[in-house]
Chains A and B, each alone.
Chain A
Amino acid sequence: MHLDLLTDPLVLCIMLPLLGAVLTAALPRRAVLLGSLMAVATSAAAVTLTILVWQSGTLRVALGGWDQKLAISLRADGLATALVVMANIVGLGISVYASGYFRDPERMRAFWPLWLLLWAALNGLFLAGDLFNLYVMLELLGIAAAALGALTGSRDAIAANLRYLLVGLLGSITYLLGVALLYTAHGTLDLDLVAASIAADDELFAVNAATLVLMVAGLALKAALFPLHFWLPPAHANAPAPVSAALSALVVKAAFYLILRLWLDLFAPVTGMAAAMLLALLGAAAVVWGSWRALRAERLKLLAAYSTVAQIGYLFLFLPLLAATPAGPVRDSLLAALVLMAVTHGFAKAGFFLATGLVQTNAGHDRIDDLGGTAQRLPATTFAIALSGSALIGLPPSGSFIGKWLLMQCAIETGQWWWVIVVTTGTLLAAAYVFRVLSRAFGLEPTPLRFITDARAEIPALLLALVSVAVLGLASGPLWTLLGLQAGGDA
């Protein structure tokens, strides 16, 4: 092992949380301290990586000094880095929140190793450069996520997460069959080499198309694309608050990232308009159905979980628009809008779930109709819910406002006006479910004495929500730079 590899931020992003998982498992008494330290170190590595990619473009590392066909290769391009930096900042927020969340010492000791393992798998998935490592990371992510989700130990939580585990395994084994077929046809697992081979050879169209169907179907199950979302609401709604935040904001996003990666980089010559249209139709159904169920939800966490189903749906609407737009600044802007929406949802949903957890602890329940007076008791938390809610709706100046704006603009320009109706419907429903929560949160109790009641729990939620609204909306220009595009924020 070369020593310089050990200090490469690309490697550190995966090794530090993995090391943390081992340390917190070996020294459970110091789990909170060690875990928090590792969370800070990992986030620092991720920020360093982002700065490096920002300055010099795509980074690559081949571990162990093997050649490209054999080595475990890592790579960080703009798309991967944008998601890594989002996941790691959100992860840091979740860690700070979690360090004070668990009252039961046994749960707390179980949380840290699993959470850091999940974190390592997330970073590994975003940064992996070959199809098989992607599979391993996907599987690791699914196992860690299901174990974390069942942490409360309640019957509902175990049942929901057992189902989540089984569905996840089905998804990843289907993906693995796709990997086997691709290796049969192309003789390599490296993403770049497979992409070149697919682009060069038209004769293998049938195999490539079959593989695309297998992989996307398996991953759509993990990304909870309608109608394969059935497992998500119970699993996310029954997990402890910091875990719900991680599952909804990050884990689902990782599966979507992989679909996007395969769709754009690998199978670009195979994907057609019809396939993109089909996925977008399912996405549209997810937007309407998820938002509707969120509006009808009786519990706050269930509302947030259904809202995730809807928000994932929006991301799939971009596929036919990308297919219809020729390469150029307009398409680049569309791609950046897609990433912006995914990243904004990551911050907003994490903030929302963390704040919801606080409401639940404070009120002893999360029934929306009985939330009267929460705003008076927990003003900072209510503010966080309102902020992240406005990002979920897509109000200016949130990042999703810009994302939705570019999406609708492009839908009209490419003649696919019907997506505008879907986006408008989803936005109206989202406004309805967010305001339904806020209207209940204000009761008739006397005004509070303090804005912040529990700093360690309230500040992460507030900051994450604030990032989704203010930072991503007002300063989204750098995202274009990170993605390696000309500043097209004014497009």
Chain B
Amino acid sequence: MTAQFLYGGAGLILFVLGLWSFLVHAPLLRKLIALNIMGGGVFHVLIAVAYRGDGVPPDPVPHALVLTGIVVAVSATALGLVLGARMQAGEREG
């Protein structure tokens, strides 16, 4: 039970740290990393929720959510990077 709280609590702390970093830092790369840390925090919470005690198989639903969430986060990050790269390329040309 303690491990579950530690893990979930760490997830919440990660979320808040990521939020702080997202709001404070201007560079695109730092913002994208910050968003991914926030996402990681939410995934921590979900994995902690899935724990149902030793010897009992974990709840599969949150695990499925985390997997889907990772896919979504990767695609969103990719689009952010592409748009950022386009902007930089435009700056160099013009």
Of B45, B79, B86, which one neighbours A143 at CB under 8 angstroms?
A: B79
Interchain CA distance A173-B8 in the complex, whole Å: 16
Count residues on chain A whose CB falls below 8 Å from chain B CBs: 29
Cβ-defined contact, A180 with B39, below 8 A: no
Say yes or no for B61: interface residue by CB 8 A criterion.
yes
User: A180 to B46, Cβ gap below 8 A?
Assistant: yes
Contact B87 A158 (CB under 8 A): yes
B72 at the interface (CB under 8 A from A): yes
Contact of B80 among A132, A153, A166, A180 (CB under 8 A): A166
- Inter-subunit contact A180/B49 (CB<8 Å): yes
Pairwise interchain contact B87-A155, C-beta atoms closer than 8 A: yes
- A residues 225-239 touching B (CB-CB < 8 Å): none
Q: Are B45 and A181 interface neighbours, CB within 8 A?
A: yes
Q: Which residue of B lies closest to A161 (CB)?
A: B83
Chain A residues whose CB sits within 8 angstroms of the CB of B80 once the complex forms: 162, 165-166, 169
**Of A150, A162, A169, which is within 8 A of B35 by CB?**
A169
Cβ of B62 under 8 Å from chain A? yes
Known contacts A177-B15, A180-B49: A146-B83 contact under CB 8 Å: yes
**A165–B42 touching, CB < 8 Å:** no
Query: Closest residue of chain A to B75, judged by CB?
Result: A143
A181 to B41, CA, bound (A): 12
A139 at interface by CB-CB < 8 Å: yes
Q: Is the CB of B90 within 8 A of A155?
A: yes
With the chains together, A42 CA to B76 CA distance in Å? Answer: 26
Considering only CB atoms, which chain A residue lies closest to B80 in the complex?
A: A165
Shortest CB–CB separation between residue A153 and chain B, in angstroms?
7
Indicate if the CB atoms of A183 and B49 lie closer than 8 Å: yes
Asked if A162 and B61 sit within 8 Å, CB to CB, the answer is: no
B76-A139 in contact (CB<8A): yes
B contact patch SS: helix
- How far apart sit A136 and B65, CA to CA, in the bound complex (Å)? 10
Q: How far is the CA of A159 from the CA of B80 in the complex (A)?
A: 11
Cβ-defined contact, A147 with B87, below 8 A: no
Please tell me if the beta carbons of A180 and B42 are within 8 angstroms of each other in the complex: yes
Among residues of A, the one whose C-beta sits closest to the C-beta of B69 is A176
Give the residue of B31, B42, B79 whose beta carbon is less than 8 angstroms from that of A176.
Answer: B42
Q: A146-B83, A162-B28, A165-B80 are contacts. A139–B72 as well, Cβ < 8 Å?
A: yes
Q: Is the CB of B61 within 8 A of A173?
A: no
Within the assembled complex, what's the spacing in Å between the Cα atoms of A173 and B72? 11
B68 within 8 A of A: yes
Q: Check A63 for interface membership: any CB of B closer than 8 A.
A: no
Selected contact of A150 from candidates B31, B49, B76, B83, CB within 8 Å? B83
User: Is the CB–CB distance between B75 and A158 below 8 Å?
Assistant: no
Contact check: which of A70, A139, A147, A155 meets B61 at CB < 8 Å?
Answer: A70
For residue A170, which residues in chain B have a CB less than 8 angstroms away from its CB?
19, 22, 35, 38
Known contacts A161-B83, A173-B35; A143/B46 CB under 8 A: no
Residues A165 and B83 in contact, CB atoms below 8 Å apart:
yes
Is residue A116 within 8 Å, beta carbon to beta carbon, of the partner chain? no
Say yes or no: is A407 at the interface (Cβ < 8 Å to chain B): no
Contact A173 B83 (CB under 8 A): no
* Given A166-B31, A183-B61; 14 other pairs, CB 8 A cutoff: A132-B68, A142-B76, A146-B79, A166-B22, A166-B32, A166-B35, A173-B35, A176-B42, A176-B69, A177-B41, A181-B45, A183-B49, A183-B62, A184-B8
Contact sample, A vs B, 29 pairs, CB 8 Å cutoff: A70-B61, A136-B72, A142-B76, A143-B76, A147-B79, A153-B86, A155-B90, A155-B91, A158-B83, A158-B86, A162-B80, A165-B79, A165-B83, A166-B28, A170-B22, A173-B35, A173-B38, A173-B42, A177-B41, A177-B42, A179-B65, A180-B42, A180-B49, A180-B65, A183-B46, A183-B49, A183-B62, A184-B8, A189-B61
Counting from the closest, the 4 A-B pairs by CB-CB distance are A162-B83, A180-B45, A139-B72, A184-B49
